[in-house]
Chain A
Amino acid sequence: MEISVNVQAIAYLVSAILFILALKGLTHPASARRGNFLAMAGMAIAIVATLMGSEVRSYGFILAGVAVGGIIGTVIAMRIQMTAMPQLVAALHSFVGMAAVLVAIGTFLNKQADGLLNGVLMGELSAGIIIGAITFSGSVIAFGKLQGMISGRPVKFRGQHLLNALLAIATIGFAVHFALTESTVSLAIMTLLAFVLGFTLIIPIGGADMPVIVSMLNSYSGWAAAATGFTLQNNLLIIVGALVGFSGAILSLIMCRAMNRSIFNVVFGGFGTAAVEGDSAADAAQKGVKSAAIEDAIYWMEDANKVIIIPGYGMAVAQAQHSMKELMEQLEERGVEVKFAIHPVAGRMPGHMNVLLAEADIPYENVVEMDEINPEFATADVVLVVGANDVVNPAAKDDPTSPIYGMPVLDAGKAHHVFVIKRSMRPGYSGVENRLYYQDNTSLVFGDAKDVSEGMVNQLKGSAH
């Protein structure tokens, strides 16, 4: 059965509406899953409508591609650990980028064979290839950094910005030449330069800026889809590309605000120090840092009215989310109110901590965002910081000389007692010493986040009353 162009257009419209409603569904966790199903329906309608249209005539390669890709995608989605979500997302972004490049090149070959090339089309093709290629190689680098295959430290070298600027100008130059002359050589060089540009743009950016970069590449993958839509004069691709592009852009903006930095500063700034050696625990004691045993922390926590736990990237690395849940249960049995405070840039991607806590079965009602929880710290008996650092540094509020001054932080230091689980005195990503550690009400519990929190749970289980 073949459907007409008009029926296909209506199907695409339905599909676009479903995607918009799907995103709308993410307004609340209760409606989010239905949203995802709406998006699946939208995608199914779009694919079926395309296959049934008059333009698709041969199905062999298509079926093979969908089958192989579908199996790979399904296996990955079922097997992936929640802690590896940032890497997975980066990998998937790279696939969209590469697919956009391939579609543009394929379109070029098809149109060239039919003699249908024109300047506007070649301009649109170039845009699709450039955005797609930057998305691809940038995401590959982000994946490498998140997976630990490439150093997460910012890689900086002299003339970096000049190199990027020259690369960008050259890429656009070859694109213009291609659009004017139909030169395949210019097309090839342009494609190659765009791949290099994605690489050189992302390589200088350090690990803790990854929430911004993941969001930004998310945005790029949307623009790549939109550019493909312009090339193919397909409105569905344009609509979806714009939605995804804006989604990523807004997330980047939210992340930047949470660090009090501009997107320009994140992309070109190369924030963070190259290597900082931390003091040993003994050195730290001389500086006026108190260390505490697990028993001390438990002593204050089990009789508290309210305990606020602040998770950070360290919790993800140590996979300590499940022992957090046990700790929460043990404390709740003793009548303690337990809440989790989330800083927007905690972890390696937006919402990273929320997913890990949800994985551990911690109800989302107990997980509170920064602005909402900040007034509550003054009434908390105990704050437990698990692998977070810069996001609880009071210097961001009251020390204008600090590099992180102005960044919104969690007011952990206002609680009666603060316990910080830490492996060493190594400063946070920013390389800034954390003033919270030197406060009178703060004690450091040295050790791995998982070992310490499991120790706390065992202690509580042992002292059951």
Chain B
Amino acid sequence: MPETLVALYIFVLSCFIGYWVIWGVTPSLHTPLIALTNAISGIVIVGALLVTGLEGVGTTAEIIGFFAVLLASINVFGGFLVTNRMLAMFNKKKR
């Protein structure tokens, strides 16, 4: 099976997992859900690392990659920390 088709299989099956998992999320946590998925979509940082770190990468690509790493890092750090802050508020000890 060609690689693109394998990728398509993985994509479609992941969509199903996403569908089932997300319906289970409680509505009161929808804002943290958005913040968390936001942080998770910072996974494009993997792509940014591959572009920037390539052996013999051209200067233009390296600079473009640098900015991609920077933006994705803001997402990863900012997204996870703000989600954590929000969830901590939901979990405070009762009076």
Contacts and interface: CB of A to CB of B under 8 A. Distances in A.
| Size bracket of the B interface | 35 or more
A76 B73 contact: no
Interface in B28-43: 28-43
Contact of A55 (B12, B54, B64, B77): B54
A33 B29 contact: no
Nearest to A214: B34
Contacts of A24: 21, 24
B31 A354 contact: yes
Interface string B5-35: 0010011101101110111111111111111
Given A28-B26, A358-B90, A95 B71 contact: yes
A105 interface: yes
Given A50-B50, A102-B71, A355 B32 contact: yes
Given A36-B87, A103-B44, A247-B33, A73 B78 contact: yes
A456 interface: no
Contacts of B76: 43, 69-70, 73
A70 B40 contact: no
A372 B23 CA distance: 17
A247 B37 contact: yes
A354 B74 contact: no
Contacts of B66: 61-62, 64-65
A428 interface: no
Contacts of B61: 106, 109-110, 113
16 contacts: A27-B24, A27-B25, A36-B32, A36-B87, A47-B49, A50-B49, A65-B48, A77-B79, A85-B35, A99-B71, A107-B50, A110-B54, A225-B44, A229-B11, A237-B44, A349-B30
Interface of A: 19-20, 22-24, 26-30, 32-33, 35-36, 39-40, 42-43, 46-47, 50-51, 55-59, 61-62, 64-66, 68-70, 72-74, 76-78, 80, 82, 85, 88-89, 92-93, 95-96, 98-100, 102-103, 105-107, 109-110, 113, 120, 214-215, 218, 221-222, 224-226, 228-248, 250-251, 254, 342, 344, 349-352, 354-355, 358-359, 361, 363-364, 367, 369
Interface of B: 3-4, 7, 10-12, 14-15, 17-19, 21-58, 60-92, 94
